Chains A and B, each alone.
Chain A
Amino acid sequence: MKAAAAVLRKDLLLELRTLETVPAMVLFSLATFVIFHFALNRETIEGQLAAGVLTATLLFAGMLGINRLFVAEREQGGFDAFLLAPVDRTALLIAKASALFAFLAVLEVIAVPAFAVLLLGPPLGPSLLGLIAVLGLADLALAVIGTLVSAIAVHTRARDLIGPVIGLPLLIPALIATARAIGPLLRTHASGSPPGKWLAVLALYDLVFALLAYGLFDFLLED
Protein backbone atom coordinates (compact mmCIF):
# COMPACT_ATOMS: atom_id res chain seq x y z
CA MET A 1 0.00 0.00 0.00
CA LYS A 2 2.96 2.32 0.57
CA ALA A 3 3.95 2.01 -3.09
CA ALA A 4 0.38 2.72 -4.21
CA ALA A 5 0.28 5.78 -1.94
CA ALA A 6 3.60 7.00 -3.38
CA VAL A 7 2.38 6.65 -6.99
CA LEU A 8 -0.95 8.30 -6.16
CA ARG A 9 0.78 11.19 -4.38
CA LYS A 10 3.05 11.64 -7.38
CA ASP A 11 0.12 11.57 -9.84
CA LEU A 12 -1.88 14.12 -7.86
CA LEU A 13 1.19 16.34 -7.56
CA LEU A 14 1.80 16.11 -11.32
CA GLU A 15 -1.83 17.04 -12.03
CA LEU A 16 -1.71 19.95 -9.60
CA ARG A 17 1.50 21.14 -11.24
CA THR A 18 0.42 20.76 -14.88
CA LEU A 19 -3.41 21.04 -14.69
CA GLU A 20 -3.61 19.03 -17.90
CA THR A 21 -6.38 16.53 -17.22
CA VAL A 22 -9.09 17.75 -14.84
CA PRO A 23 -9.57 21.22 -16.41
CA ALA A 24 -9.96 19.57 -19.82
CA MET A 25 -12.56 17.18 -18.42
CA VAL A 26 -14.46 20.06 -16.78
CA LEU A 27 -14.41 22.24 -19.88
CA PHE A 28 -15.56 19.32 -22.01
CA SER A 29 -18.51 18.70 -19.67
CA LEU A 30 -19.57 22.34 -19.59
CA ALA A 31 -19.35 22.61 -23.37
CA THR A 32 -21.40 19.42 -23.75
CA PHE A 33 -24.13 20.75 -21.43
CA VAL A 34 -24.33 23.92 -23.52
CA ILE A 35 -24.51 21.83 -26.70
CA PHE A 36 -27.34 19.71 -25.23
CA HIS A 37 -29.13 22.87 -24.12
CA PHE A 38 -29.31 24.11 -27.70
CA ALA A 39 -29.51 20.73 -29.46
CA LEU A 40 -32.54 19.62 -27.42
CA ASN A 41 -34.02 23.10 -27.78
CA ARG A 42 -35.40 22.92 -24.26
CA GLU A 43 -34.98 25.28 -21.35
CA THR A 44 -34.92 22.43 -18.84
CA ILE A 45 -34.91 18.65 -18.78
CA GLU A 46 -35.76 16.14 -16.07
CA GLY A 47 -36.15 12.46 -15.26
CA GLN A 48 -34.60 9.80 -17.48
CA LEU A 49 -33.64 12.27 -20.22
CA ALA A 50 -31.67 14.36 -17.70
CA ALA A 51 -30.06 11.22 -16.30
CA GLY A 52 -28.99 10.14 -19.79
CA VAL A 53 -27.49 13.52 -20.61
CA LEU A 54 -25.62 13.72 -17.30
CA THR A 55 -24.34 10.14 -17.42
CA ALA A 56 -23.21 10.26 -21.05
CA THR A 57 -21.47 13.60 -20.55
CA LEU A 58 -19.58 12.41 -17.47
CA LEU A 59 -18.65 9.17 -19.23
CA PHE A 60 -17.19 10.96 -22.26
CA ALA A 61 -15.39 13.46 -20.04
CA GLY A 62 -14.01 10.49 -18.15
CA MET A 63 -12.61 9.09 -21.41
CA LEU A 64 -10.38 12.17 -21.63
CA GLY A 65 -8.95 11.32 -18.22
CA ILE A 66 -8.53 7.67 -19.19
CA ASN A 67 -6.57 8.60 -22.31
CA ARG A 68 -4.18 10.71 -20.26
CA LEU A 69 -3.82 8.35 -17.30
CA PHE A 70 -0.50 6.80 -18.33
CA VAL A 71 0.85 9.63 -20.50
CA ALA A 72 3.52 10.69 -18.02
CA GLU A 73 4.56 7.07 -17.47
CA ARG A 74 4.90 6.48 -21.20
CA GLU A 75 6.58 9.74 -22.17
CA GLN A 76 8.90 10.15 -19.19
CA GLY A 77 9.86 6.57 -18.43
CA GLY A 78 7.69 6.24 -15.36
CA PHE A 79 6.70 2.72 -16.36
CA ASP A 80 10.28 1.47 -16.39
CA ALA A 81 11.08 3.27 -13.17
CA PHE A 82 8.09 1.66 -11.47
CA LEU A 83 8.83 -1.79 -12.88
CA LEU A 84 12.39 -1.58 -11.57
CA ALA A 85 11.15 -1.14 -8.02
CA PRO A 86 10.70 -4.22 -5.83
CA VAL A 87 6.99 -3.59 -5.29
CA ASP A 88 3.80 -5.43 -6.15
CA ARG A 89 2.71 -4.23 -9.59
CA THR A 90 -0.90 -4.13 -8.43
CA ALA A 91 0.13 -0.97 -6.57
CA LEU A 92 0.13 0.80 -9.93
CA LEU A 93 -3.44 -0.36 -10.62
CA ILE A 94 -4.63 0.84 -7.20
CA ALA A 95 -2.82 4.18 -7.55
CA LYS A 96 -3.96 4.91 -11.09
CA ALA A 97 -7.57 3.89 -10.37
CA SER A 98 -7.53 6.07 -7.25
CA ALA A 99 -6.11 9.02 -9.21
CA LEU A 100 -8.78 8.64 -11.90
CA PHE A 101 -11.46 8.32 -9.21
CA ALA A 102 -10.19 11.56 -7.64
CA PHE A 103 -10.20 13.33 -11.02
CA LEU A 104 -13.79 12.20 -11.65
CA ALA A 105 -14.88 13.33 -8.20
CA VAL A 106 -13.40 16.81 -8.78
CA LEU A 107 -15.05 16.90 -12.21
CA GLU A 108 -18.44 16.08 -10.69
CA VAL A 109 -18.11 18.67 -7.93
CA ILE A 110 -18.06 21.27 -10.72
CA ALA A 111 -20.04 19.59 -13.50
CA VAL A 112 -23.10 18.44 -11.53
CA PRO A 113 -23.96 21.91 -10.12
CA ALA A 114 -23.32 23.35 -13.60
CA PHE A 115 -25.73 20.75 -15.02
CA ALA A 116 -28.31 21.75 -12.41
CA VAL A 117 -27.98 25.41 -13.41
CA LEU A 118 -27.79 24.97 -17.18
CA LEU A 119 -30.19 22.13 -17.90
CA LEU A 120 -31.92 20.50 -14.96
CA GLY A 121 -35.50 21.47 -14.17
CA PRO A 122 -36.20 20.00 -10.72
CA PRO A 123 -34.08 21.10 -7.76
CA LEU A 124 -31.12 18.83 -7.03
CA GLY A 125 -31.13 19.31 -3.24
CA PRO A 126 -33.46 16.49 -2.12
CA SER A 127 -31.69 13.92 -4.32
CA LEU A 128 -28.13 15.01 -3.65
CA LEU A 129 -27.12 12.21 -1.26
CA GLY A 130 -28.59 9.55 -3.54
CA LEU A 131 -26.85 11.09 -6.54
CA ILE A 132 -23.51 11.09 -4.71
CA ALA A 133 -23.93 7.38 -3.91
CA VAL A 134 -24.72 6.48 -7.53
CA LEU A 135 -21.93 8.62 -8.95
CA GLY A 136 -19.49 7.16 -6.43
CA LEU A 137 -20.22 3.63 -7.68
CA ALA A 138 -20.17 4.80 -11.31
CA ASP A 139 -16.81 6.53 -10.77
CA LEU A 140 -15.40 3.33 -9.32
CA ALA A 141 -16.48 1.45 -12.45
CA LEU A 142 -14.97 4.09 -14.70
CA ALA A 143 -11.75 4.18 -12.65
CA VAL A 144 -11.22 0.41 -12.74
CA ILE A 145 -12.13 -0.10 -16.40
CA GLY A 146 -10.30 3.09 -17.36
CA THR A 147 -7.09 1.98 -15.68
CA LEU A 148 -7.29 -1.47 -17.24
CA VAL A 149 -7.95 -0.12 -20.73
CA SER A 150 -5.36 2.62 -20.40
CA ALA A 151 -2.73 0.08 -19.37
CA ILE A 152 -3.57 -1.96 -22.50
CA ALA A 153 -3.60 1.09 -24.74
CA VAL A 154 -0.34 2.57 -23.57
CA HIS A 155 1.71 -0.17 -25.23
CA THR A 156 -0.01 0.23 -28.60
CA ARG A 157 0.50 2.71 -31.39
CA ALA A 158 -3.23 3.46 -31.66
CA ARG A 159 -3.39 4.27 -27.96
CA ASP A 160 -5.74 7.25 -28.36
CA LEU A 161 -8.28 5.01 -30.08
CA ILE A 162 -7.99 1.96 -27.84
CA GLY A 163 -9.50 3.76 -24.82
CA PRO A 164 -12.84 4.54 -26.44
CA VAL A 165 -12.92 1.43 -28.66
CA ILE A 166 -12.42 -1.05 -25.81
CA GLY A 167 -13.50 1.06 -22.85
CA LEU A 168 -16.89 2.26 -24.02
CA PRO A 169 -18.34 -1.20 -24.85
CA LEU A 170 -17.08 -2.52 -21.51
CA LEU A 171 -18.71 0.41 -19.74
CA ILE A 172 -22.16 0.02 -21.34
CA PRO A 173 -23.59 -2.04 -18.43
CA ALA A 174 -22.30 0.55 -15.95
CA LEU A 175 -23.71 3.36 -18.11
CA ILE A 176 -27.15 1.72 -18.20
CA ALA A 177 -27.18 1.05 -14.46
CA THR A 178 -26.00 4.58 -13.66
CA ALA A 179 -28.57 6.25 -15.90
CA ARG A 180 -31.39 4.06 -14.58
CA ALA A 181 -30.34 4.72 -10.98
CA ILE A 182 -30.10 8.47 -11.51
CA GLY A 183 -33.33 8.82 -13.55
CA PRO A 184 -35.77 8.69 -10.61
CA LEU A 185 -33.56 11.14 -8.67
CA LEU A 186 -33.93 13.83 -11.30
CA ARG A 187 -37.74 13.78 -11.50
CA THR A 188 -39.91 16.52 -10.09
CA HIS A 189 -40.89 15.44 -6.55
CA ALA A 190 -38.19 12.75 -6.55
CA SER A 191 -38.11 10.43 -3.52
CA GLY A 192 -34.40 11.15 -2.91
CA SER A 193 -33.17 7.57 -2.85
CA PRO A 194 -31.99 5.70 -5.94
CA PRO A 195 -33.54 2.34 -6.94
CA GLY A 196 -31.77 -0.43 -5.02
CA LYS A 197 -31.77 -2.80 -7.99
CA TRP A 198 -29.61 -0.55 -10.13
CA LEU A 199 -27.32 0.31 -7.23
CA ALA A 200 -26.78 -3.41 -6.70
CA VAL A 201 -26.04 -3.90 -10.42
CA LEU A 202 -23.44 -1.13 -10.27
CA ALA A 203 -21.88 -2.52 -7.10
CA LEU A 204 -21.70 -6.01 -8.63
CA TYR A 205 -20.17 -4.60 -11.81
CA ASP A 206 -17.55 -2.80 -9.71
CA LEU A 207 -16.72 -5.93 -7.77
CA VAL A 208 -16.42 -8.18 -10.83
CA PHE A 209 -14.23 -5.80 -12.79
CA ALA A 210 -12.10 -4.88 -9.78
CA LEU A 211 -11.31 -8.58 -9.30
CA LEU A 212 -10.71 -9.01 -13.04
CA ALA A 213 -8.38 -6.01 -13.11
CA TYR A 214 -6.52 -7.33 -10.07
CA GLY A 215 -6.00 -10.65 -11.80
CA LEU A 216 -5.02 -9.25 -15.20
CA PHE A 217 -3.02 -6.13 -14.44
CA ASP A 218 0.31 -7.86 -13.81
CA PHE A 219 0.20 -9.47 -17.26
CA LEU A 220 -0.59 -6.14 -18.93
CA LEU A 221 2.69 -4.69 -17.69
CA GLU A 222 4.79 -7.49 -19.18
CA ASP A 223 6.70 -6.66 -22.37
Chain B
Amino acid sequence: MADTPAIELRGLTRHFGERTALRDVSVSVPAGATLAVLGRNGAGKSTLLRILATLLRPHGGEIALFGESLPRRAFAVRGRLGLLAHEPLLYGDLTPRENLRYHASLHAVERERVEALLGAVGMEPYGDEPVRLLSRGMVQRIAVCRAVLHRPALLLLDEPRANLDPAASDLLEPLIGRASGCTRVITSHDPRAALAEADQVLGLKAGRPLIVSGAREIADAQLSELYQ
Protein backbone atom coordinates (compact mmCIF):
# COMPACT_ATOMS: atom_id res chain seq x y z
CA MET B 1 0.00 0.00 0.00
CA ALA B 2 3.00 2.30 0.46
CA ASP B 3 3.28 2.62 -3.33
CA THR B 4 -0.39 3.49 -3.79
CA PRO B 5 -0.57 6.99 -5.29
CA ALA B 6 -2.47 9.55 -3.25
CA ILE B 7 -4.24 10.64 -6.46
CA GLU B 8 -4.79 8.59 -9.58
CA LEU B 9 -6.81 10.12 -12.43
CA ARG B 10 -7.42 8.25 -15.69
CA GLY B 11 -9.35 9.88 -18.48
CA LEU B 12 -11.32 12.14 -16.12
CA THR B 13 -14.14 13.98 -17.88
CA ARG B 14 -16.79 16.33 -16.58
CA HIS B 15 -19.52 18.28 -18.39
CA PHE B 16 -21.80 21.10 -17.35
CA GLY B 17 -24.68 20.78 -19.77
CA GLU B 18 -23.25 21.21 -23.27
CA ARG B 19 -19.93 22.55 -22.01
CA THR B 20 -17.04 20.22 -21.27
CA ALA B 21 -15.22 21.46 -18.18
CA LEU B 22 -12.65 18.65 -18.09
CA ARG B 23 -11.75 16.20 -20.85
CA ASP B 24 -9.54 13.14 -20.59
CA VAL B 25 -7.40 14.30 -17.67
CA SER B 26 -4.89 11.72 -16.42
CA VAL B 27 -2.28 12.19 -13.72
CA SER B 28 -0.80 10.25 -10.83
CA VAL B 29 0.44 11.97 -7.67
CA PRO B 30 2.46 10.06 -5.08
CA ALA B 31 1.73 10.53 -1.39
CA GLY B 32 3.46 13.61 0.03
CA ALA B 33 3.97 15.26 -3.39
CA THR B 34 2.56 18.57 -4.57
CA LEU B 35 0.66 18.95 -7.82
CA ALA B 36 0.24 22.46 -9.24
CA VAL B 37 -2.81 22.84 -11.45
CA LEU B 38 -2.30 25.78 -13.78
CA GLY B 39 -4.44 27.43 -16.39
CA ARG B 40 -6.43 30.49 -17.29
CA ASN B 41 -9.81 31.37 -15.80
CA GLY B 42 -12.34 28.71 -16.77
CA ALA B 43 -9.67 26.14 -17.62
CA GLY B 44 -11.24 23.62 -15.24
CA LYS B 45 -8.99 24.02 -12.18
CA SER B 46 -11.76 24.55 -9.62
CA THR B 47 -13.88 21.81 -11.20
CA LEU B 48 -10.99 19.40 -10.80
CA LEU B 49 -10.60 20.37 -7.14
CA ARG B 50 -14.34 19.92 -6.50
CA ILE B 51 -14.26 16.46 -8.09
CA LEU B 52 -11.25 15.50 -5.97
CA ALA B 53 -13.10 16.86 -2.92
CA THR B 54 -16.01 14.48 -3.75
CA LEU B 55 -18.34 17.47 -4.20
CA LEU B 56 -18.83 16.81 -7.92
CA ARG B 57 -19.26 13.51 -9.70
CA PRO B 58 -17.10 12.76 -12.73
CA HIS B 59 -18.93 11.96 -15.96
CA GLY B 60 -16.19 9.78 -17.36
CA GLY B 61 -12.87 8.20 -16.49
CA GLU B 62 -11.60 6.84 -13.21
CA ILE B 63 -10.48 8.50 -9.98
CA ALA B 64 -8.87 6.92 -6.99
CA LEU B 65 -7.76 8.72 -3.83
CA PHE B 66 -5.47 6.69 -1.58
CA GLY B 67 -6.54 3.65 -3.60
CA GLU B 68 -10.25 4.29 -2.94
CA SER B 69 -12.32 4.64 -6.09
CA LEU B 70 -14.55 7.71 -6.42
CA PRO B 71 -17.41 8.39 -6.24
CA ARG B 72 -18.27 4.89 -4.98
CA ARG B 73 -15.91 5.06 -2.00
CA ALA B 74 -16.20 8.78 -1.36
CA PHE B 75 -17.34 8.21 2.20
CA ALA B 76 -14.08 6.40 2.97
CA VAL B 77 -11.85 9.32 1.93
CA ARG B 78 -13.81 12.41 2.97
CA GLY B 79 -12.21 12.57 6.38
CA ARG B 80 -8.75 12.56 4.76
CA LEU B 81 -9.41 15.57 2.51
CA GLY B 82 -9.02 19.22 3.36
CA LEU B 83 -10.47 21.75 0.92
CA LEU B 84 -9.53 25.40 0.85
CA ALA B 85 -11.91 26.76 -1.77
CA HIS B 86 -12.60 30.21 -3.22
CA GLU B 87 -15.35 30.57 -0.64
CA PRO B 88 -14.18 30.25 2.96
CA LEU B 89 -17.08 27.88 3.86
CA LEU B 90 -17.63 29.81 7.10
CA TYR B 91 -20.80 31.31 8.54
CA GLY B 92 -20.47 35.08 8.64
CA ASP B 93 -22.73 35.49 11.66
CA LEU B 94 -20.76 33.01 13.76
CA THR B 95 -17.37 33.73 15.27
CA PRO B 96 -14.21 31.93 14.12
CA ARG B 97 -14.30 29.89 17.34
CA GLU B 98 -17.96 28.90 16.81
CA ASN B 99 -17.32 28.05 13.15
CA LEU B 100 -14.31 25.90 13.96
CA ARG B 101 -16.06 24.18 16.87
CA TYR B 102 -18.92 23.33 14.52
CA HIS B 103 -16.52 21.79 12.02
CA ALA B 104 -14.67 20.04 14.83
CA SER B 105 -17.96 18.40 15.84
CA LEU B 106 -18.61 17.23 12.28
CA HIS B 107 -15.11 15.76 12.02
CA ALA B 108 -15.01 14.40 15.59
CA VAL B 109 -11.97 16.54 16.39
CA GLU B 110 -11.14 17.57 19.95
CA ARG B 111 -11.86 21.21 20.90
CA GLU B 112 -8.27 21.82 21.99
CA ARG B 113 -7.31 21.60 18.32
CA VAL B 114 -9.50 24.63 17.60
CA GLU B 115 -7.67 26.74 20.17
CA ALA B 116 -4.30 25.50 18.98
CA LEU B 117 -5.06 26.44 15.38
CA LEU B 118 -6.45 29.87 16.28
CA GLY B 119 -3.21 30.51 18.13
CA ALA B 120 -1.09 29.13 15.27
CA VAL B 121 -2.57 31.54 12.72
CA GLY B 122 -2.54 34.52 15.09
CA MET B 123 -6.33 34.76 15.26
CA GLU B 124 -6.85 34.09 18.96
CA PRO B 125 -7.64 37.77 19.73
CA TYR B 126 -10.34 37.72 17.05
CA GLY B 127 -11.78 34.34 17.97
CA ASP B 128 -15.03 35.81 19.28
CA GLU B 129 -15.68 38.42 16.57
CA PRO B 130 -18.30 37.57 13.92
CA VAL B 131 -16.54 36.37 10.78
CA ARG B 132 -18.41 38.93 8.65
CA LEU B 133 -16.56 41.72 10.51
CA LEU B 134 -13.10 40.32 9.79
CA SER B 135 -10.85 41.35 6.91
CA ARG B 136 -10.53 39.01 3.92
CA GLY B 137 -7.03 38.04 4.97
CA MET B 138 -8.25 37.11 8.44
CA VAL B 139 -11.13 35.12 6.97
CA GLN B 140 -8.63 33.28 4.76
CA ARG B 141 -6.61 32.36 7.85
CA ILE B 142 -9.73 30.94 9.53
CA ALA B 143 -10.60 29.11 6.32
CA VAL B 144 -7.17 27.49 6.43
CA CYS B 145 -7.83 26.43 10.03
CA ARG B 146 -11.11 24.87 8.89
CA ALA B 147 -9.41 23.04 6.04
CA VAL B 148 -6.69 21.49 8.22
CA LEU B 149 -8.74 21.08 11.42
CA HIS B 150 -9.12 17.31 11.02
CA ARG B 151 -5.47 16.75 10.01
CA PRO B 152 -6.17 15.75 6.39
CA ALA B 153 -3.68 13.74 4.36
CA LEU B 154 -4.63 15.47 1.09
CA LEU B 155 -4.95 19.25 0.85
CA LEU B 156 -6.89 20.73 -2.05
CA LEU B 157 -5.88 24.37 -2.17
CA ASP B 158 -7.59 26.83 -4.51
CA GLU B 159 -5.52 30.02 -4.55
CA PRO B 160 -4.35 29.42 -0.96
CA ARG B 161 -2.35 32.65 -0.66
CA ALA B 162 -5.13 34.89 -1.94
CA ASN B 163 -5.72 37.93 0.30
CA LEU B 164 -2.73 37.10 2.50
CA ASP B 165 0.13 39.46 3.28
CA PRO B 166 3.64 37.91 3.42
CA ALA B 167 3.60 37.64 7.22
CA ALA B 168 0.26 35.81 7.23
CA SER B 169 1.47 33.60 4.39
CA ASP B 170 4.51 32.62 6.49
CA LEU B 171 2.25 31.86 9.47
CA LEU B 172 0.27 29.42 7.36
CA GLU B 173 3.31 27.66 5.92
CA PRO B 174 3.39 24.87 8.57
CA LEU B 175 -0.30 24.20 7.97
CA ILE B 176 -0.61 24.24 4.18
CA GLY B 177 2.98 24.49 2.95
CA ARG B 178 5.36 21.66 2.17
CA ALA B 179 6.13 21.44 5.88
CA SER B 180 2.61 20.13 6.47
CA GLY B 181 3.74 16.79 5.01
CA CYS B 182 0.42 16.46 3.19
CA THR B 183 -0.12 15.56 -0.43
CA ARG B 184 -1.19 18.85 -1.98
CA VAL B 185 -3.04 20.00 -5.07
CA ILE B 186 -2.59 23.73 -5.58
CA THR B 187 -4.29 25.94 -8.13
CA SER B 188 -2.95 29.38 -8.80
CA HIS B 189 -3.14 32.21 -11.29
CA ASP B 190 0.52 32.88 -10.50
CA PRO B 191 2.37 30.04 -12.26
CA ARG B 192 5.80 31.02 -10.89
CA ALA B 193 4.63 30.87 -7.28
CA ALA B 194 2.85 27.56 -7.86
CA LEU B 195 5.82 26.02 -9.65
CA ALA B 196 8.09 26.97 -6.76
CA GLU B 197 5.97 24.79 -4.47
CA ALA B 198 5.23 21.94 -6.85
CA ASP B 199 6.73 18.58 -7.72
CA GLN B 200 4.38 17.99 -10.64
CA VAL B 201 2.38 20.21 -12.94
CA LEU B 202 -0.94 19.74 -14.65
CA GLY B 203 -1.62 22.53 -17.13
CA LEU B 204 -5.23 22.80 -18.27
CA LYS B 205 -6.45 24.66 -21.30
CA ALA B 206 -10.21 24.72 -21.87
CA GLY B 207 -10.49 21.56 -19.78
CA ARG B 208 -7.86 19.61 -21.71
CA PRO B 209 -4.51 18.61 -20.19
CA LEU B 210 -1.90 20.58 -22.11
CA ILE B 211 0.96 19.94 -19.68
CA VAL B 212 1.51 16.88 -17.48
CA SER B 213 5.08 16.83 -16.27
CA GLY B 214 7.51 17.36 -13.43
CA ALA B 215 7.74 20.92 -12.15
CA ARG B 216 11.44 21.21 -13.05
CA GLU B 217 10.88 20.20 -16.66
CA ILE B 218 8.48 22.99 -17.52
CA ALA B 219 9.69 25.28 -20.26
CA ASP B 220 8.73 28.92 -20.53
CA ALA B 221 7.26 28.25 -23.95
CA GLN B 222 4.84 25.70 -22.48
CA LEU B 223 3.68 28.19 -19.87
CA SER B 224 3.23 30.86 -22.52
CA GLU B 225 1.08 28.52 -24.59
CA LEU B 226 -0.98 27.61 -21.53
CA TYR B 227 -1.86 31.21 -20.81
CA GLN B 228 -2.34 32.37 -24.39
Q: Interface of A with B (CB < 8 Å)?
A: 2-3, 5-7, 9-10, 13-14, 17-18, 72, 76-78, 80-87, 222-223
Contact of B108 among A2, A10, A17 (CB under 8 A): A2
Known: A6-B102, A6-B105, A80-B89. A86 touches B78 (CB 8 A): yes
Give min CB distance, B140 to chain A, whole Å.
14
- Kindly state the separation between the CA atoms of A85 and B94 in the bound complex, as whole angstroms: 19
Please determine whether A13 and B56 come into contact, CB atoms closer than 8 angstroms.
Answer: no
In the assembled complex, 28 residue pairs joining A and B whose CB atoms fall closer than 8 Å, in A order, are A2-B108, A3-B105, A5-B105, A6-B105, A6-B106, A9-B105, A13-B94, A14-B91, A14-B94, A17-B130, A18-B93, A72-B91, A72-B93, A76-B90, A76-B91, A77-B85, A77-B87, A80-B53, A80-B89, A81-B146, A83-B54, A84-B89, A85-B79, A85-B103, A85-B107, A86-B79, A223-B56, A223-B57
Interface centre among A3, A82, A85, A86 (most CB of B within 10 A): A86
Asked if B37 CB lies within 8 Å of chain A CBs, one says no
Residue of B nearest to A82 (CB): B106
Instruction: Please count the residue pairs between chain A and chain B whose beta carbons lie under 8 angstroms apart in the complex.
Output: 73
Q: Is the interface of B mostly helix, strand, loop or mixed?
A: loop
Contact of A80 among B75, B83, B94, B106 (CB under 8 A): B83
Please determine whether B107 and A86 come into contact, CB atoms closer than 8 angstroms.
Answer: yes
Give min CB distance, B46 to chain A, whole Å.
12
Q: Interface readout for B52-67 with A: 1 if CB under 8 Å, 0 if not?
A: 0111110000000000
List, in ascending order, chain A residues with CB within 8 A of B90's CB.
76-77, 81
Asked if B98 CB lies within 8 Å of chain A CBs, one says yes
Q: Is the interface of A mostly helix, strand, loop or mixed?
A: helix
Contact of B57 among A3, A5, A18, A222 (CB under 8 A): A222
Asked if B32 CB lies within 8 Å of chain A CBs, one says no
List, in ascending order, chain B residues with CB within 8 A of A18's CB.
93
Please determine whether B83 and A84 come into contact, CB atoms closer than 8 angstroms.
Answer: yes
Residue of B nearest to A5 (CB): B105
Known: A80-B55, A83-B54. A17 touches B105 (CB 8 A): no
Give min CB distance, A3 to chain B, whole Å.
6
- Kindly state the separation between the CA atoms of A51 and B87 in the bound complex, as whole angstroms: 46
- Kindly state the separation between the CA atoms of A85 and B149 in the bound complex, as whole angstroms: 11
Contact of B75 among A9, A13, A17, A86 (CB under 8 A): A86
Give min CB distance, A218 to chain B, whole Å.
11
List, in ascending order, chain B residues with CB within 8 A of A77's CB.
85, 87-90
- Kindly state the separation between the CA atoms of A222 and B55 in the bound complex, as whole angstroms: 8
List, in ascending order, chain B residues with CB within 8 A of A13's CB.
94, 98
